[in-house]
Amino acid sequence: MTVEAFADVGHGVFEVEYVGADRVRRREPLSAVWTERFETLPPVRKVRAYGGQRSVTRDYWSTTMRRALACESRLERDHAMLMDFDPQVTGLVSQPFRLFWPTRRGRLGHVPDFFFRLADGTGTVVDVRPDDRIELDDAEAFAATERVCELAGWLFRRVGMISPVLLANVRWLRGYGHPRCWQQETAGRLLEAFGEPRPLFAGAEAAGDRVAVLPVLYHLLWRGALVTEVESQVMGPNCMVRRSGTGVEPW
């Protein structure tokens, strides 16, 4: 089956293998599983290191899910961090399921890198692959996955390299994502201080001693209660910060 042929196929062509909440492995038609909350289920496979591999295998600890996500490369781990940073992402899992579809070579399979759930309930499937590393088999797998998402009512994203500025900013904030950086009284003062946009250091100083306040400020930026521009400029003392209007629960 060519990549173009997927436009004409329906639910019956695709099968989904996944591990249920009871830890039982199942393989069912797409039509029987598209409502599953895959973000709450175990991964369908384990990521294992092997000799001579080109990338680094390392888990990412998700503050959204309070569990580790298995990643097969640094790039996957960085994208897991960006999804973890996105306040609209309410659930996230790596290696969510294995898709099967027919070709002239038999039934082929593909395990997407991530599945996440948005606050509005929309499911999203993510494959991580830079543009210059997509071969013909990859293109077919991504086309099949995109068709599955169309049929299931999910979104599909194929993502690649990340802007260095965005990556640097989010990595910095991720360092303050731990619950030890949460102080409820200080957080309240910061949310009040940034009720109107103001420079980062000025708002910190309005809420108390800057050195003591900054870890809580960065924690609130990580959790989305405060927002600033992270894509086009490196964060600094004068970057403008404001309250997002999104509530933040104590840890």
Closest listed residue to residue 203, CA positions, set 215, 191, 212: 191
Instruction: Give 139-162 pLDDT, tens digit per residue.
Output: 999 999 999 999 999 999 999 999
pTM of model > 0.85: yes
Q: What percent of the chain has pLDDT over 70?
A: 90
Instruction: Give 165-180 pLDDT, tens digit per residue.
Output: 999 999 999 999 999 9
Instruction: Give 24-60 pLDDT, tens digit per residue.
Output: 999 999 999 999 999 999 999 987 665 555 555 689 9
Which residues are CB-contacts of 217 (< 8 A; sequence separation ≥ 6)?
190, 200, 203, 204, 207, 226, 241
Instruction: Give 115-134 pLDDT, tens digit per residue.
Output: 999 999 999 999 999 999 99
DSSP state of 176: T
Instruction: Give 66-82 pLDDT, tens digit per residue.
Output: 999 999 999 999 999 99
Q: How far apart are CA 9 and CA 3, in angstroms?
A: 11
